[in-house]
Amino acid sequence: METIGIWIAALLTLGIFSFLYKDNPFYKFCESLFVGISAGYWFVTTFWQVFMPKLADNLVAGRFYYMIGAIFGVLMLLRLFPKIGWLSRWSLALVVGTTAGLYFTRYLVSNGMVQVQNTIIPLYVKGNLSQTIGNLVIVIGTFSGLIYFFFSKEHKGAFGGLAKLGIWILMLSFGASFGYTVMSRMSLLIGRMDYLLGTWLGLIH
């Protein structure tokens, strides 16, 4: 069974790779199978990992307020029926309200205040030139980056100069992100090649 499974996995891998030559029915088959299997996996996992322990077991144990969640959940499913789909907005409203309420404080604190706090750092560190330069880069870089994103004022004069510096810092960051993206994509390909050459064909150990 294991050998058959490895062959099936390898053939499906080659099916997806065949897209690199050109689009073809074998690729489309693999793609459709992937979509169906993913949806099936999510469906089953949600049932056993969420509905059973969180809904069914709680209702059996007498915690009937979970029924409110079930009712809202069923309202969500009504979206599939155009005539009564408007009822799903109630469930969506609860989701949106929860998310908005949590995001309001969490993003303000963690991504706003804490980040600003850690940008207010000494511009001169006695006896440590590299730290001084680093701190200057952080402060000036963050400030000029924020200046660039302020589009309510025209970018000219000193303001424009700082915005220009901001773009350069941002470009540096995007270049670094590109380098990391290449690393990530190559890693994924290495994993598949290892599977094909090692696990399937047994050419590498």
Nearer CB in complex with another protein: 33/156:
33
CB of 155 to another protein, least distance (A): 14
Distance between CA atoms of residues 46 and 39, nearest Å: 11
Is there binding between residue 201 and another protein (CB under 8 A)?
no
Nearer CB in complex with another protein: 100/158:
100
Alpha-carbon 41 to chain mean position? 19
Distance between CA atoms of residues 13 and 197, nearest Å: 12
Residues of 61-97 as b/e, b for ≥16 C-beta within 10 angstroms?
eeeeeeeeeeebeebbebeeeeeeeebbeebeeeeee
Position among 23, 123, 161, 194 found at the interface with another protein (CB under 8 A): 194
Distance between CA atoms of residues 84 and 77, nearest Å: 10
Q: Which of 60, 62, 59, 61 is nearest to 73 (CA)?
A: 59
CB of 153 to another protein, least distance (A): 15
Nearer CB in complex with another protein: 35/123:
35
Interface characters, 136-175, with another protein (x: CB under 8 A):
-xxxxxxxxxx-xx----------------xxxxxxxxxx
CB of 176 to another protein, least distance (A): 5
Interface characters, 65-94, with another protein (x: CB under 8 A):
xx-xxx-xxx-xx-xx-x--xx--xxxxxx
